[in-house]
Structure formats: C-alpha cells, structure tokens
Amino acid sequence: MAAVEKIFNDTITDRETRDKTLKWVGTRAPRPDGVDKVTGRAKFGADTYLPNMLYGKVLRSPHAHARIKSIDMSRALALPGVKAGVTRDDFPDHPAGAVQPAGEMVINYRDMTRNIMAREKALYEGHAVAAVAAVNERVARQALSLIEVDYEVLPHVIDVEEAMKPGAPLVREDLITEGVEPVPEEPSNIAKRVEFGHGDLDLGFSKADVIIERSFKTQPVHQGYIEPHACLASFSEDGQAELWCSTQGHYVARGHCAKLLQMDVSKLRVTCSEIGGGFGGKTVVYLEPLALALSRKACQPVKMVMTRDEVFRASGPTSGASMDVRIGATKDGRITAGEAVLKFQAGAFGGSPVPAAAQCAFAPYDLENVKTIGFDVLCNRPKVAAYRAPGAPLGEYAVESVVDELAKTLEIDPLEFRLQNAAKEGTDSSYGPKFGPIGCVETLETAQSHEHYLAPLKPGQGRGVASGYWFNIGGQTSATLNLCEDGSVALVVGTPDIGGSRASLTMMAAESLGIELDKVRPLIGDTSALGYNMLTGGSRVTFAGGIAVHGAAADMIKQLRERAAATWDVPVDDVEWHGGQAVAVNGYKDQEDPMGLLDIAKDMAKSGGPIVGRCSTNAQGAGPSFGCHIVDVDVDKETGRVSVARYTVIQDAGKAVHPSYVEGQYQGGAVQGIGWALNEEYIYDENGKVENAGFLDYRVPVCSDVPMIDTVIVEVPNPTHPYGVRGVGETPLVPPLAAISNAVENALDIRFTELPMSPPRVLAAIESVG
Amino acid sequence: MARIVLTGNLRLYTEGVTELELESGSIRSLLRELRRRYPDIPEDIEDELAISIDGVLHQDDWFAKIEPDSEVHLLPRIAGG
Amino acid sequence: MAREHITTTVNGDPVEFLCDTEQTLLDVLRDELRLTGSKEGCASGDCGACSVTLDGRLVCACLVLATEVEGQKVTTIEGMAVGDQLHPLQQKFLDHAALQCGVCTPGFLVAAKALLDRNSNPTETEVRYWLAGNLCRCTGYDKIVRAVLDTAAEMRG
Amino acid sequence: MRYEAPETKGEAVSLLAMAEGSGRVLAGGTDLLVQLRSGVVKPGVVVDIKKIVETREITTENGGFRVGAAVTGAELDEHKALKKLWPGVVEAVELIGSTQIQGRASMGGNLCNASPAADSVPALIAAGAQCHIAGPDGERTLPVEEFCTGPGVTNLQTGEFLVSFSLPSRPRHSGDAYLRFIPRTEMDIAVVGVGVSLSLDSNGICVAARVGLGAVAATALLVTEAADALIGTSVDEGAIEIMTSAIRSACRPIDDKRGTIVYRTRVSGVLAGRACRIALQRAEQS
C-alpha cells in the first residue's frame, strides 16, 4: 500500500505536486443525496410514521423561576386517548459529581436530567415539567390542559451582570464558584472563573503609547435552524428500543438517552434522520428521552415534534455577554498588551462557551503580554447549547472592535495594523500552544489586495474588516468500505450529513481508492452499523471523516493487493495499487494484466470471501482556521437602519475538498453574523418571559436583506491530514459581528459597543451626537 | 525534559505552578506523573482536557508521543458547534 | 368528532381525504397523505418551508384550512419533477450547491417555480423579494439566488 | 369547530347571527389560522366568505372601484387600472407579508384583524375609502377610519361582516403613497406606517389632502392637522416640515418589542415626509 502510505507521509511540496494529480478532491462533484433533497423525498426528523404511533406533547413552565410543589397528572391520564404521562418522577436522579465524557464535553447528568425535565424548580420559561402521549395531537394538547402543577413563583434573573450581583436570585442555591481561590463560602450564580494568557500585562501596558479600553454588551441569540427538534421513539416490551431523531450525533444521543433512562447502551439503536440545520443546537437531547420514556410506558411508538415557539423558549440558545477589553499599542503599531474580561450567560446550568471565547479572543495576534478572564454565569434561561464556534464570535467582536479603534487612533490601515501583529507559524498563541502552519497572514494579505478592499466607497457608506479564529477538532470516527460483487463500493459513515459531507467523504474515498466517483455510494449508518462516532460539530466531519475514509481505503487496498498477489502467485510486496488497479511490479512487471476492483470483486468468494475496508480512529491534529471578512454598509441616518451593501469572506480551508460547499459554509456563516450584528435578539418581559418566540419578531436575515456574499478560499494545508483539510464550518461566524460594527463606525464615526445594532439603537446614537 | 505548560484553572491544583519540566514519553505517562506530584488534580481531569504537543492538538490520546524536547500545553477540552 | 370529506386534486391526481376542520392543508398533506416534502418550520407563515400552490397561486400550506381546498388544485414539491426528469430549477439547485441541510429546499423550489412561471427574466432584486418569505439559515441565500437566475436564463434559451 | 362556506351574503349573515359571537369570518386566513393554532380564538363556526361573489370582485364604480373584502394582494397587484388610480393603496397591501401571504391575504382581513399596525389601513384612510358592511339589518357603509375602535376591536355588530370597499374616483393631478418602517426589508410588522393622498390644482397648489398614520396609536389615525398643513401650499419643503411635526404630535405610541415611543414618533415624521414627496411627484405626473 505504498501509494496510500505516501499520502499520509508526504510533505507540503509532495502535496503540491499531488494536488495537480487529484481527480476528485477539489472538484465540484454532484452530492449523492442531492436528488432526494430537491424532490422532497429526503426524510427529516418529523417525516417518519409508525403503525400504532402516539403523539407526545410537553407541558412547559409558564414561569421563569418557580418551585414545583406538586404535579397532578390524574385528570390528564384519565382523558380517553391518553396512553402515558411522564414527570420528574420517571427519571432517576444523578449525584452532583456525576460527570462523564459524552460527545464533545464532560456531561453533568445531574444537570442534564434536570434540563430535560424540571425537578425541584422550573428554571426558565419553557422548561419541561411533564409530557403526555396520546392517540393524536389534539387529545395530547387537551391532556396538557388537564395537568395540575402547583408552582411557587420565585424572583428571576436574566441579565449576566444582574445575575453576578450579590443578593441576586439564586438559580441554584448551593452553587460555589469554581476556579477562584480562596474558595468562596457563599453560593452565587457564578459557576466558574477561567483565566488564560502569558507575559506581564503591567509591563506591556507601560510600553504602550496608546491604550484603549471599552465595555461591550450583546443580547442572547438562537441558532435558528429551520427544522424544529423532532424524534420518534419505539420501546418494546423486552426493553429494547429504537430511536429516530434529528441530531448532530446519533451515537452521542444514544449515550445520553441510555444514561438518562438507565438502560444498556447496546439496547438502544439510534438512526439519524436528515437534519434540517443545527449549528450546534442539535448536539444535545431534549425530546428524545421524553419520547423514549413515554414509549416505554405505553409500549407504543411515540412521535414528538417541537413547535417553533418551543424551539425558541426551550432549546439552544447561546449566551448574551458583557465584556471589557483593554489593548495597548506603540505609535508604530505594535500591540504591547491585551486584556479581556468576559461574562457569559450559561442559562439554567453551568457550561457557557466562555472558556473558548477567552482562548480565541486574541488568537489572531502574536502577543507578548495577554490575559483573558471568563465568568460562566447561571441565569433563568435555557442552558445554552453550542452555536457555531461557541463563544468565539463574542470574544472576537469585543477584541476586534478595540483593535479597529486602535488602528484608527494610530492612523494605520486596519489590515496593515493586523498584519503587523498577526499570529504565524511558531507564534505562542494567546491561549498557550505554539501555532503550527496557519493561514492568518495569508487571509489578511489576500484581503489587502482584494478588489473589494481597493474599491471606492459610495457616499455615506462605511467599510469594516475583522479577523476570526477557531480551533477545530477531530475525535472518534469510524468508516467502512464494502466491496460489492460488481466492483462498486458502499461507504458507511456515522456522522449526520448536515451540509454536504456525504459528497466530501465520497470524493475522498474515490480519490484514495483511485476509482470513479459514481462507483462509491455513501450511507449514514445507524448506531449498530459502525463503531463509535463523535457528533457532527466542531468543524470535524470532513477532517476526521476524511482520515477514517482514507484509512478504510488503505485497509481495503491492502486486502486487494493480497488477493491479487495470491491470484497471481507472486509476493504481495511485488503488487502495488495504482490508479484503482493492482499492478505487478519489480520482477513481475508486465507479466500479469493489472486487476481492477471488478476483476477482484467477481472472484472475491473464491479468493477468500468478502472484502471490507475498515477504519475506526480517534482523529487528532485538527488544523485551526483563520478568516478575514470585509464588509460595506449603508446607514439610513433618518431611521437608523443599517444595510449590508457588499460582503467578502476570506478563509483558510487547508484544502477545499468540495469548493462549493466550503463557499456555502463561508456565506452561511457571514449571513448568520449579519443577523446577530443587526437584528437578532431575545426580548424578555419583566417576568422573564420571551416576547419574540417566533420567526416574525426574532428577525433572522431574509433573502432581500443581504447581497451576494463573495468568497476567497485560502489553502494552507493541514499537515496532519491526508488531503490537507482544516475544518471550515465555524470560523465564518467569528468575524462578522466586529466587521459590521467596524463598518458602521466607519460610516457614522460612532463606535457601537452593544449588539444588535438595531434601528432604534442606531438612530438614538446618531441623534445623541447631534 | 519536555516543557509542560498548565493553562486555565489547572494552577489551582498545583500550588500555583503553571510551568514545569518533566520526563514523560506519552500523554498517559505525563498525566500519571502530574497526578503523582499534585494529588489535588482530580482523577478524571483528563476528560476535561485538550493536550497540545508541539502545537498539534490531542483530545483523548493517551499514547501520543512526547519527545524529550517537546513543548506540551494542557488546555480545557474544546467543543464545537 | 365528525370529519369533513374533501375531494381535491393534488399534483394532478384526484385525491379524497377526511379531515378535522381544525387541520391545515399542511397537516393533511403530511399526516394524512404522507406528502412530507412540505415541511413545518413555524406553522405561522413566517418561514415558507410549506410553500405549495393552490390553483396556481403560491401559498403557505400551514395557513390554509384543509377544508378550503375542496375542488381546488394543489401542487407540492412532489409534483415538480416529471418522471425521472428533474425540473430545471431542481437541477440548477444541485449544480450550484444551493442547498446545505436541504430542509428549506422544497419550499424554495416551489416558490421559485411560481416566480419563473410569471416572470421569465427576473432581476436579482426581484428574486430576492419574491423569496423573502422563504427562510434559509445555511446558505446565506447566495447560491439559491444564483441558481434561480441561472435557471431563468437557461429556460429563456 | 364547524366550517361553512356560504355563497350569499344572506347565508353568511344568518350563520354569523346564529353563532352569537362564536363565529369567525375566514377570508385569506393569514391571521385567523395563526390565532386558531395558538388557541387565542376558539370559534364555534368559521364562515369562509370567499364563495360570495361580492367579496371576490373588483368592479368599477362611478369612476372609482368597488373591491371585494376577500380579494387577495396578488390579485390587486395584477389589476392595472386600480394600481394606476390608487398606487399607494395597492403598494400598502403588497407590503403585507411574503409572496405566499400575498396569495391569500386581503384588505378586508387586514382591516378586520384590527391591528394598529395593519399596512393597508393608513393608505385606505388616506384614500378616503368606505367599508360596505352586510348584517341582519341590511347593509351599511362606514369610513375606514371609523371601522376599528381599538386593538383587535371593530365596529362590526354580531351577524355583520365586511363585504367590500369603495375606493373613490379622483381628479387629475392627484397622487397617493404609503411607506412603512420595518427593521428588515420584508416579513416584519410595521413599526410605523404613513399613507398620504393629495390633489393639486392646475397651478400645483394642493387643494385636497388626507394623511393616514399607523402603528403609533390604538388604531390607525386620520391626521387632519397634517393634511391641513399641505392644503393651500405648493407642498414645498416648508409645508412638509409643518406636516411632519403635525404627524409627530399626533403620535400616541407605546414601547414594545417592535419599537420605542421615541423611535416611533421620530420615524413617523421621516416617513410622512418621504411618502408626501412620492405622492406629490405622482400627482404632478398624473
């Protein structure tokens, strides 16, 4: 398998020559699941039905914070057509320290079991309090109205700074802050304090000619996937269960559900539906354990689907934040010190993305003295779920705003200023490790010479730029290649395809095997089909899946060479795999006709039986990805409306396996960022209830709000990946908030420090400066 | 001796020590040695860690090789969206 | 509860169904007729994922009572391809990678076809405003708009 | 819930009368179905009026038009003559929701839903449109500005329903326009909406004007002070300035998730000025 090994070992220069010979990787091939998705055939979470199926519905807390004194299900269960009901009493509790690795993070099951079904208290409006299963939705809804819950309403807190104040209502009465010494004696809403950095801040600031310090505030937002959470659970009398659900990770969902329902993992088979968007919001479970518990009681299949209102009140979202940033620089544009204090809403349970925010905030820069401190703060909102580069967009919004203001103060071009301080290979990153090969400088230089950056602005317009960084991850991944008797190949992977990964994984499989793309048919296997797979998230699938698929191809090629060698009766070392064929080499050169997949497949039975290429690995060495965005805005000075006139995304992909879907990630991230920057926000009333739980008043960008999004794919290969791939999915959401804020500042000469920059806020600012 | 850097809140378990030199051939042996020196480090700490060896990120990778001249950073585990 | 008997035409075929008066056209398409290509993203007419045409007029199936379609002609995404021939819009969506997760795609295709049926040469602005009622959270709309413009150009020949 | 689709006004009236207040009229359904789904309304009977010819027609009526209450936005948009006579009214209706909503939503529904932020209402008020109402005691007419009495509350009595609107004829040199403000470019509820209609004499002096104002009070308003500021002038910037301050002082908005009192008041003047300039230009060209 020399050819394949070589791909693993080759150097960057080998890679450049090899890139020229690539047949599939780097092309815009059709996606294997495409036709199903343009014809309506593809089955998403809510699109399956089973005989004898029940419909489940959830009763949710109308209060932001309330003690649950009693729950009386009797009248609901007595209603004809109601088959089962569940409450907190149907889920075993877990001790406080019951943390264990599951999916991406250690999961605290004491918290998770309380998040899926309230126990002592309802901790946010929309918190699940009970659920029922009935013969149809109408009866299920009627049953909910018959459940009697006795609440003792408690004072609530939403805003992160309010929640940190002494005397604030306590979301959890016994919470002692982690990460501070001495250990506090009093409980508070502050779950955790984290700190990163290196060098000497005082020394750094003493060397600065200019120091700028600003405070920022952002409102909480939601991932906004178009498909609501949905699942269909079927428990049989013998304790085995099947679960169909829309999830970013069906193996991870299986682990959570088995733990929450105290069943053997092997007794639960989870199949992932097509997934209608997730952006991190479908890495956790909400309905799944409830549907399983209801099905176990009713011994009938139970389908549950969230309404849009439930999605906004009870799922996701991400943190609102308060952030203080201070950066100093010398007259000639060298940053001498950077400091950030980040306070993030965690929601009802600890675990906001503030650590990642603190690590990423200064990552685009090569700094001698840097320190970031983060606070993870409980409040009466749903526990936040991951949202695309979790935390990074917020931290970098604050830092990149101050960096921009420094450049302006020093009268240095903002890209030039960033380049003068840019992180590069060998830089000690702001969070610790030395960077390997990275594309930060390349993205900035590409931006500098981009036609967009050089184009003149129209009167009244403003232009902004910002950099962004995300780590990317690898993780456990399995893939199988089954050689069919006609020489075609069935590829089985275990990561839900959220945006074209069937295409990229199939292309890498065909490339590594050296065969035609249409000879490889991909399938997303259920949890019984493969070894463990971590979820689709952290921009890991094309990276880690590529390594697994490539490894499975190597395993299959090894067997193909052995079969050919045995058939020819020559030593296996004298058989190589080239261009999809076994070729006799060395002393046997030209003595045997090469054997392709079909030749070997048709005699597979005679030569030793089925040929299956397997790879199960824990992919390491994910390549970080940097991006730089350029945006032009128009501001209507009489109404305060900001509109995006032009937008360009420049980002390092390492290697774009399918450029169209890489561009798609860049464009989608930019537009989510436009929404976050300009209009998206949760609005709470004085009782802590969400006032805009729908797409009418939670304003995600619509088609007419945005221009075309230009993209430039920079390729600085990731040496740890056979094809040089870096993750690309998350970084695109990191720069937009600052880039747009910087553009508005450039247009109005007003620095905004609060998001969203909605028309009332913008007009108020314009009029306050006269 | 490899250079080991402890970031985030690890200093709380190491009497404030954030940097040390250690002889350890793998992540597994590094973690054992750290817990031997600093018993306050929780047993399951590794489940919350990402470990960078010479700039290459590892999560759950016991037998990743650490060279005598390696630079190793222990960070909070990274989760994505 | 007494159920209404409705006779209508779906994708050119005569169809009869029973429904509750509360049920929407979307409820019936999905739960009774199992035409699940039309998606429920909001049930309030704000996302367009359930776009269908009713006697040729583009509507949200979630905002039509099932009983209202008596005697009318309903067309859904399932009626867009003819045999194994994809509609040019469907093909262009694939060529331009105008979908990522794909859950909004049926609604966009039905809405875009309704546009091209009326206007064979729309401007980018016309396309963007016509499709403003169809939310997509994955693509940023760029490739969708390009696919529609490219289809129009190709169909004009 | 019963569903009825009568073919005559008489049947509709008796169905609604018998329902004694538990009846709801269904036209385009774009508001009603959302209310049904969320359980805000639980009617005993839904009366679909779309089979009643008068609610679905656009007919000429002494130089103006009679427009059925259930005529959809898409159909209005396709009616060249109506669009030519009252472009502001048609534009206002077109702003109601998405293309999909336009396929169903009607002026009648927009008015009967009685939202203070309804887009078509300020334009209809500016146009001096009349409502034709059928009921147990026969038919009556009412100016649009008198139809809504509060948020979600109308002047309709039990058994009554809105059949159609009259949009009057108008002299040469007349024009109207409607503008609203929303945070996005589409799909939002108006934060402020202003309709302006005016007529000029042959010397370009404004001889008649009406200004309708939405989303800044419990109901859409007819602001006569704003109109008076234009009448007798050549609608110069000075007159427009006086008109916009009249608009701002007519505002009695609330703070809510869609806008603040200050913001709504500020922007109402801005939009009034812009709408006025468009109406003026149309008047000069007609």
pLDDT digits over A281-298, tens only? 999 999 999 999 999 999
Q: Do A538 and B80 touch (CB under 8 A)?
A: yes
Which chain D residues contact residue C111 at CB under 8 A? 99-100
For β-strands D2-4 and D45-48, DSSP reports them as parallel
List pLDDT tens digits, range A1-15: 233 344 444 444 455
- Neighbouring CB atoms inside 10 A of A90's CB total 18
Which residues, at least 6 apart from D176, have a Cβ–Cβ distance to it below 8 Å?
Answer: D86, D87, D88, D89, D123, D126, D127, D195, D196, D197, D198, D279, D282
D contact test, residue of A639, A680, A682, A685 with most D CBs within 10 A: A639
DSSP assigned state of A265: G
Task: Render pLDDT for A391-426 as a digit per residue (tens, 0 to 9).
Answer: 999 999 999 999 999 999 999 999 999 999 999 999
User: What single-letter amino acid sits at A635?
Assistant: V
User: Which residue among A30, A308, A706 sits closest to C42, beta carbon to beta carbon?
Assistant: A308
Please indicate whether chains D and A are in contact, defined as at least 3 beta carbon pairs under 8 Å: yes
- Coil, strand or helix: which one is A746? helix
- The CATH class given to the B2-65 domain equals alpha beta
Q: Contact C101/A40, CB-based, under 8 Å?
A: no
Q: Measure the CA–CA gap between A733 and A674, rounded to whole angstroms.
A: 9
Question: Looking at residue A723, what DSSP letter applies?
Answer: T
pLDDT band, residue A116 (cuts 50/70/90): very high
Which residues of chain C does A46 touch, with a Cβ-Cβ cutoff of 8 Å?
30, 36, 39-40
**CATH for the C88-156 domain, from 3.40.605.10, 3.40.640.10, 1.10.150.120, 1.10.443.10:** 1.10.150.120
Question: A769 and chain C: CB distance < 8 Å anywhere?
Answer: no
Query: What's the mean per-residue pLDDT of chain B?
Result: 93
Question: In terms of DSSP bridges, do strands C4-10 and C13-19 run parallel, antiparallel, or are they unpaired?
Answer: antiparallel
The CA-based angle A504-A507-A511, given to 5 degrees, is: 140
Residues 35-74 of A with CB under 8 A from C: 35, 37-44, 46-47, 49
Restricting to C residues 35-64, those with a Cβ less than 8 Å away from any Cβ of D are: 43-46, 48, 51, 54, 57-60, 62-64
**A529 vs C: CB within 8 A:** no
Mean pLDDT (chain D) is 97
Q: Inter-chain contact A730–B81, Cβ cutoff 8 Å?
A: yes
Output the six-digit token pair for A388. Answer: 């695309």
Which of A193, A359, A384 is the best residue to mutate to test the B interface, defined by the most B CB atoms within 10 Å of its own CB? A359
What's the pLDDT tens digit per position in D85-125? 999 999 999 999 999 999 999 999 999 999 999 999 999 99
Q: Which pLDDT does position A20 carry in this prediction?
A: 75
The Cα D162–Cα D133 span in angstroms is 5
Min Cα separation D171/chain C (Å): 33
Do the chains contact at A702 and D266, CB–CB below 8 Å? no
Locate D258 and state its tokens.
Answer: 């869609």
Residue A106 has pLDDT above 90, yes or no: no
Closest residue on chain D to C44 (Cα): D34
pLDDT tens-digit readout, A670-679: 999 999 999 9
Distance from CA of A164 to the nearest CA of D (A): 26
Evaluate whether residue D47 is within a structural domain.
Answer: no
CB contact (8 A) between residue A226 and residue C43: no
For residue range D60-89, what is the model confidence (pLDDT) as tens digits?
Answer: 999 999 999 999 999 999 999 999 999 999
Domain ranges of chain B: 2-65
The predicted structure's pLDDT at residue A14 = 58
A54-154+229-305 CATH fold? Aldehyde Oxidoreductase; domain 3 (3.90.1170)
Instruction: Tell me if B55 and A432 make a contact (CB, 8 A cut-off).
Output: no
In the predicted structure, residue C135 carries a pLDDT above the cut 70: yes
* Chains touching B (3+ CB pairs < 8 Å): A
How confident is the model at residue A16, as a pLDDT? 62
C33 touches chain A (CB under 8 A): no
pLDDT of residue A3: 36
Grouping H, G, I as helix, E, B as strand and the rest as coil, residue D89 is helix
End-to-end CA distance of chain B: 37
Nearest CA in chain A to D261: A760
Which residues of chain D neighbour C58 with C-beta distances below 8 Å? 99-100, 103
Measure the CA–CA gap between B57 and B79, rounded to whole angstroms. Answer: 13
Taking an 8 Å cut-off on Cβ atoms, the answer to whether C46 and A224 are in contact is no
Domain ranges of chain A: 2-30+474-619, 54-154+229-305, 321-472+623-768
Cβ–Cβ under 8 Å, residues A556 and A510: no
Report CB contact under 8 Å: D188, A699: yes
**A 161-200: CB under 8 A from B:** 178-179, 181, 192-196
Domains A2-30+474-619 and A321-472+623-768 share a fold: yes
The H or E element that residue D227 is part of is helix D224-230
C88: tokens are 């040019």
Calculate how close chain D gets to A633, using CA atoms only, in Å: 14
Residue C101 forms contact with A (CB below 8 Å): yes
Q: In CATH, which superfamily holds the domain spanning C4-79? A: Beta-grasp domain (3.10.20.30)
Sole residue written with tokens 């699938």: A541
Helix pair C88-95, C142-156: axis angle to 10 deg: 130
- The shortest CB-CB distance from D98 to any of C48, C62, C65 is to C48
By C-alpha distance, which of A664, A691, A671 is closest to A631? Answer: A671
How far away is chain A from the Cα of C125, in angstroms, using its nearest Cα? 7
Note the pLDDT of residue A549.
Answer: 97
For A667, which of C20, C35, C142 is closest by C-beta distance? C142
Give pLDDT tens digits for B33-67: 999 999 999 988 899 999 999 999 999 999 999 99
Q: Which of A279, A433, A475 sits opposite B81 (nearest CB)?
A: A279
Q: Model confidence at C138, in pLDDT bands (50, 70, 90)?
A: very high
pLDDT computed for residue A473 by the predictor: 94
Give every CB contact of residue A576 below 8 A, 6+ residues apart in sequence. A2, A3, A561, A582, A583, A585
Q: DSSP characters for A97-161?
A: T-EEEETTEEEEHHHHHHHHS-SSEE-STT-EEEEEEESSHHHHHHHHTT-EEEEEE-----SHH
How many CB atoms lie under 10 A from the CB of residue A5?
11
Chain C partners (3+ C-beta pairs within 8 A): A, D
Task: Give residue A97's pLDDT.
Answer: 72
Q: Give the confidence band of A98 by pLDDT, cuts at 50, 70, 90.
A: low
**D-chain residues near A764 (CB < 8 A):** 262-263
Q: Are A737 and A393 in contact (CB under 8 A)?
A: yes
* pLDDT tens digits along A590-624: 999 999 999 999 999 999 999 999 999 999 999 99
Nearest alpha-carbon partner for A505 in A519, A484, A483, A520: A520
Which of A291, A234, A276, A226 has its CA nearest to residue A45?
A276
Neighbours of chain A (3+ CB pairs under 8 A): B, C, D
**C93 and chain D in contact, CB less than 8 A:** no
Mean pLDDT within A493-507: 97
pLDDT score recorded for residue A104: 65
Taking the C-alpha atoms of residue A213 and residue A253, their distance in angstroms, rounded to an integer, is 43
What's the CATH code, domain A2-30+474-619? 3.30.365.10
Over residues A464-478, the mean pLDDT reads: 97
| C109 interaction partners in chain A (CB closer than 8 Å) | 38
Tokens for A170? 């306590």
What number is the average pLDDT over the span D49-57?
A: 98
Query: Mutation test of the interface with chain C: which of D22, D77, D96, D100, choosing the one with the most C Cβ atoms within 10 A?
Result: D100
A193 token code pair = 């304090």
Q: Is residue D158 part of a domain?
A: no
Q: Check which CATH number belongs to the domain holding D200 and give it.
A: 3.30.390.50
Distance, in Å, from the CA atom of D281 to the CA atom of D286, rounded to the nearest integer, reads 9
Query: Cβ contact (<8 Å) for B47 and A196?
Result: no
CA angle A53, A57, A58 (to 5 degrees): 150
Work out the average pLDDT over A52-67.
98
D121-180 tens-digit pLDDT? 999 999 999 999 999 999 999 999 999 999 999 999 999 999 999 999 999 999 999 999
- Integer angstrom CA distances of residue A18 from A22, A23, A25, A715: 6, 10, 11, 14
Taking CB atoms and an 8 Å limit, are B76 and A432 in contact across chains? Answer: no
Distance, CA of B55 to CA of B64 (rounded, Å): 13
Cα–Cα distances in angstroms (integers) from residue D151 to residues D112, D163, D197, D217, D233, in the given order = 10, 21, 25, 9, 35
**B8:A730 CB<8 A:** no
Q: What is the pLDDT of residues C35-91, one digit of tens each?
A: 999 999 999 999 999 999 999 999 999 999 999 999 999 999 999 999 999 999 999
D and B interact (at least 3 Cβ pairs within 8 A): no
Please state which architecture CATH assigns to domain A321-472+623-768.
Answer: 2-Layer Sandwich (3.30)
For A135-273, list the strands marked E by DSSP.
148-153, 190-198, 210-218, 230-235, 241-245, 268-272
Q: Is the pLDDT of residue A253 over 80?
A: yes
Is the C-alpha dihedral spanning D138, D143, D144, D149 positive or negative?
Answer: negative
Q: Which of D209, D82, D70 is nearest to D132 (CA)?
A: D70
Measured over the CA atoms of residue A306, residue A309, residue A310 and residue A312, the dihedral's sign is positive
pLDDT over threshold 60, residue A166: yes
Taking CB atoms and an 8 Å cutoff, what residues of chain C touch A35? 86, 90, 94
**A722 and chain B: CB distance < 8 Å anywhere?**
no
Asked if D186's CB is within 8 angstroms of A705's CB, the reply is yes
Give the strand pairing for D174-181 and D192-200: antiparallel
* Amino acid code (one letter) for A757: M
pLDDT in tens, D256-280: 999 999 999 999 999 999 999 999 9
SS3 A61: coil
Chain A closest-CA separation from residue B43 CA (Å): 12
Quick: pLDDT tens for D3-51: 999 999 999 999 999 998 899 999 999 999 999 999 999 999 999 999 9
Q: What is the pLDDT of residue A770?
A: 74
Joined tokens for residue D68: 């059925």
Residue C137's Cα: distance from chain center in Å? 18
The domain spans of chain C are 4-79, 88-156
Closest chain B residue to the Cα of A536, Cα to Cα: B81
Any CB–CB contact under 8 A between C134 and chain D?
yes
List, edge to edge, every strand of the sheet that includes D58-61: D58-61, D64-68, D161-167, D130-135, D138-143
Among C41, C101, C144, whose Cβ lies nearest the Cβ of A499? C101
